[in-house]
Amino acid sequence: EAQVTQNPRYLITVTGKKLTVTCSQNMNHEYMSWYRQDPGLGLRQIYYSMNVEVTDKGDVPEGYKVSRKEKRNFPLILESPSPNQTSLYFCASSPRDRYPSGANVLTFGAGSRLTVL
């Protein structure tokens, strides 16, 4: 089944303890992205990647890192989590070469709910 898989789905951690949220897609998509969703703010893009080894900041990149060493994986790293990073996180991917620019269809993962105490 074509899908985007995120792990963990739920995590409670403490301030300052480094953590990684993994994202993997099995659709050979070039484009991958991370979003966070907070009440009243909708989904905001954190980082995105156009292809392997190509990443760029989204709207709210502070406090996050990403890497894209392989096409299928796009982990989100919180080096020193803080309570304001408590949120619901979504990874998404799309096939850039299948549609004209701007017409890409995103496939989202099921989400990872992170709580930082």
Closest CA to 21 of 95, 106, 93, 109: 109
Q: What's the closest the beta carbon of residue 78 comes to another protein, in angstroms? A: 20
Identity of the residue, 74 or 90, whose beta carbon is nearer to another protein in the bound complex: 90
Q: What's the closest the beta carbon of residue 8 comes to another protein, in angstroms? A: 15
Q: Contact, 44 vs 58, CB < 8 A?
A: yes
Q: Go through the chain and tell me how many residues it has.
A: 117
Identity of the residue, 34 or 85, whose beta carbon is nearer to another protein in the bound complex: 34
Q: What's the closest the beta carbon of residue 13 comes to another protein, in angstroms? A: 21
The CA-CA-CA angle for residues 97, 67, 48, to 5°, reads 45
Identity of the residue, 59 or 79, whose beta carbon is nearer to another protein in the bound complex: 59
